[in-house]
Homo-oligomer: A and B are copies of this chain.
Amino acid sequence: MPNADDFPRDEKETSRVEAFSDGVFAIAMTLLVLDIKVPRASDLVRRATLPELLEHEWPAFVAYVLSFATVLIIWTNHHTLFRLIRRCNHAFLLINGALLMSVTLVPFPTALLAEHIDQPGAATAAAVYSGTFVSIAVLFNVLWHYAAHKDRLLLTGHDRAAAASITRQYRFGPVLYLAAFLLAFVSVSASVGLCALLAVFFALPTRAGD
């Protein structure tokens, strides 16, 4: 591919990559709903009332809420990064693409977790689930470090305290999600619970200069 660095630069180089990323995030989040199965009317007659069948689907609802919230928070943080990132090059597009590949995968581990959380395969499902977030957390850090290294792609005259605060908060993501991954083999509820806690943690605002 011709190197993007060869091309004339305009002021907001990242607008198309932001729009494209937004599209991928939005679709990955919206596809999650397809994993909540609608109980068939024919099942009602044979087995149970509709409220009972819906109640039986609680893992799908829990998985939906947890995955939607996590991807939303990743999007919010992605949005935060791009307030400081203004330039774009070839390698950056590829790293961002790898991050998006992990994000679009999310509906799969979500459905896997919903299907197996109360079954013999629960540990595997929870490991695949948290493992996907390990990979997202790693790629998120790679993306940010690539952009921020020697201010490579940052806005000229950006807020250094804000950049440092991003670096500080996100650096724990991979390790914490790795803990959730390992916990999956000990206790499925602890692993999923840690994923939920991490969503809350990354949703918390941190003041630059904490």
Contact = CB atoms under 8 A, between A and B. Distances in A.
A100 B187 CA distance: 32
Given A7-B162, A8-B83, A22-B23, A33 B206 contact: no
Interface stretch (A105-113, A145-153, A174-182, A189-197): A105-113
A33 B33 contact: no
Contact of A33 (B108, B121, B158, B169): B108
Interface string A27-56: 111111111101111001100011100100
A169 B38 CA distance: 34
Interface residues of A, number: 88
Nearest to A124: B50
A138 interface: no
B204 A159 contact: no
A64 B102 CA distance: 11
B17 A206 contact: no
Contact of A51 (B16, B84, B124): B124
A29 B1 CA distance: 20
Contact of A3 (B16, B79, B115, B208): B208
A115 B43 CA distance: 11
Given A2-B166, A202-B1, A84 B27 contact: no
Contacts of A90: 76, 205
A142 interface: no
Nearest to A83: B7
Contact of A2 (B27, B91, B162): B162
A6 B161 contact: yes
